[in-house]
Structure 1
Amino acid sequence: MELKGKIAVVTGVSKGIGLATVEALLEKGAKVAGWGRTKPDLEHQNFHFFECDVRHHESVQQAFDNTIATLGKPIQVLVNNAGLGIAGLLEDMSLDDWHTMFETNVNGIFYCTRLVVLGMKEMGEGHIINISSIAGTTGVAQMSGYCGTKHAVRGISHSLYKEVRDYGVKVTCIYPGSVNTSFFDNIDTVTVSDNMMRPQDIASTILHALESHPNYHQVDIEVRPLMPKGRKQK
């Protein structure tokens, strides 16, 4: 897809992968609508922030309506990036924390995608990027809720691409390993380090998928840091 002039929506844009993706899309000349609870520290003539909490379908609908009113239509790119993880043993997990993860990581993808996919099918072009996690391919101790949500993202992505591929619409699910972001701020079992991937690395992967040939479809992309514990000494 040629990104110049295209309209792209990115969720969870305040920092980290979301912000890096917005910046990468802007460099390619796209018009970007950022949906999130917190406005990022970014000023650009082609960037428009719309306050949105993806846990609530009314909030997503309002952000969608405001995006169409401001940028026009159709929306050609959707990056479902908004997400969070809360650590804890399953039996210790509060109902609120469990629901917050599923409402954000799973329901949010449904609320956002359902609004853009029809327009993509009608114009015969579009690309939906869903950010899952390595946790969406395996189990992680004390992360059962988070793993459950990211497995759901994988299942949604695989089903959706089979529904829309014949209309020329792509769905790509990305599974990052550890990325140096604020995701781990409240997870005591992980120490953030420079050995993790950078948000810009994930953004570059997203661009690579978006800019691929119309008949070339990357369904799953798994990315990891090469040396998560640093370079081994001889």
Structure 2
Amino acid sequence: MELAGKIAVVTGVSRGIGLATVEALLEKGAKVAGWGRTAPELQHENFHLFECDVRRADSVQLAYKQTVEQLGGHVSVLVNNAGLGRSAKLEEQSLDDWHLMFDTNVHGLFYCTRLVVPGMKEMEEGHIINISSIAGTTGVEEMSGYCATKHAVRGISHSLYKEVREYGVKVTCIYPGSVQTNFFDNIDSVTANENMMRPEDIAATILHALESHPNYHHVDIEVRPLMPKGKRQK
């Protein structure tokens, strides 16, 4: 897809992967709508923040309405990046944290995606990028709730791409390993460090998928740090 002049929506844009993706899209000339509760430290004529809580369908509906009215056209790119995790043994997981993860990681993705698909099908062009996790392909001790949500993202992605592929619309699910982001602020057992991947690495992967030939479709992309524990000691 040629990104210049296209409308791209990114959720969870305040920092990390979301912010790096916004910056990469702006460099390509896209008109970027950030849907989120917190504005990033970014000033650009083609970046527009629409206050949005993806956990609420009415908030997403309003952000979508404002985006198409103010930016003038259908959404060509949606990056479902907003997400969070809370660690606990399953029997000790609080109900609030369980619902927070599903409301953000799964319901939020559904609320955003369902609104952009009709326009993409009408244009016979569009690309939805869903950020899952390695946790969406396996189980992780004391992360059952988070793993459940990211498995759901995988299932949604695989089902949706089969529904929209004949309309020229792509759906790509990305499964990152550890990335240097604030995700680990609420995970006591792990601290973000320099051996993890950088947010801009994930953004570069997103751009690669978006700019591929119209008949070339990345369905699943798994990415990991090459040396998660650093260089071996000699």
Match of 2:229 in 1: 229
Match of 2:63 in 1: 63
State the Cα distance separating 1:163 from its structure 2 match. Answer: 0.1
1:191 is aligned to 2:191: yes
Question: Over residues 108-129 of structure 1, what are the superposed CA-to-partner deviations in whole Å (9 max), with x where a residue is unaligned?
Answer: 1100000000000011000000
1:177 is aligned to 2:177: yes
Q: Which amino acid aligns with 2:225?
A: P
| C-alpha separation in 1, matches of 2:123 and 2:64 | 18
| C-alpha separation in 1, matches of 2:5 and 2:192 | 36
State the Cα distance separating 1:169 from its structure 2 match. Answer: 0.1
1:104 is aligned to 2:93: no
Match of 1:34 in 2: 34
Structure 1 gaps of 5+ residues are none
Match of 2:44 in 1: 44
Per the alignment, in what secondary structure is the counterpart of residue 230 of structure 2? coil
Structure 2 gaps of 5+ residues are none
| C-alpha separation in 1, matches of 2:233 and 2:84 | 35
State the Cα distance separating 1:233 from its structure 2 match. Answer: 2.5
State the Cα distance separating 1:191 from its structure 2 match. Answer: 1.9
Question: Over residues 84-130 of structure 1, what are the superposed CA-to-partner deviations in whole Å (9 max), with x where a residue is unaligned?
Answer: 00001111111111000000000011000000000000110000000
Match of 1:165 in 2: 165
State the Cα distance separating 1:55 from its structure 2 match. Answer: 0.3
Match of 2:15 in 1: 15
| C-alpha separation in 2, matches of 1:119 and 1:220 | 23
Per the alignment, in what secondary structure is the counterpart of residue 174 of structure 2? strand
| C-alpha separation in 2, matches of 1:166 and 1:186 | 41
| C-alpha separation in 2, matches of 1:186 and 1:151 | 20
| C-alpha separation in 2, matches of 1:131 and 1:173 | 6
| C-alpha separation in 1, matches of 2:205 and 2:19 | 14
| C-alpha separation in 1, matches of 2:57 and 2:72 | 21
Q: Which amino acid aligns with 2:197?
A: M
| C-alpha separation in 1, matches of 2:114 and 2:53 | 16
Match of 1:4 in 2: 4
Per the alignment, in what secondary structure is the counterpart of residue 171 of structure 2? strand
Per the alignment, in what secondary structure is the counterpart of residue 162 of structure 2? helix
| C-alpha separation in 1, matches of 2:131 and 2:2 | 21
Match of 1:24 in 2: 24
Q: Which amino acid aligns with 1:20?
A: A
With normalisation by structure 1, the TM-score equals: 0.99
| C-alpha separation in 1, matches of 2:191 and 2:60 | 33
State the Cα distance separating 1:153 from its structure 2 match. Answer: 0.1
Map 1:204-215 onto structure 2 (within 5 A). 204-215=204-215
With normalisation by structure 2, the TM-score equals: 0.99
Per the alignment, in what secondary structure is the counterpart of residue 8 of structure 1? strand
| C-alpha separation in 2, matches of 1:191 and 1:128 | 30
User: CA RMSD of the aligned region, Å?
Assistant: 0.5
State the Cα distance separating 1:60 from its structure 2 match. Answer: 0.1
Q: Which amino acid aligns with 1:210?
A: L
| C-alpha separation in 2, matches of 1:76 and 1:180 | 28
Match of 1:129 in 2: 129
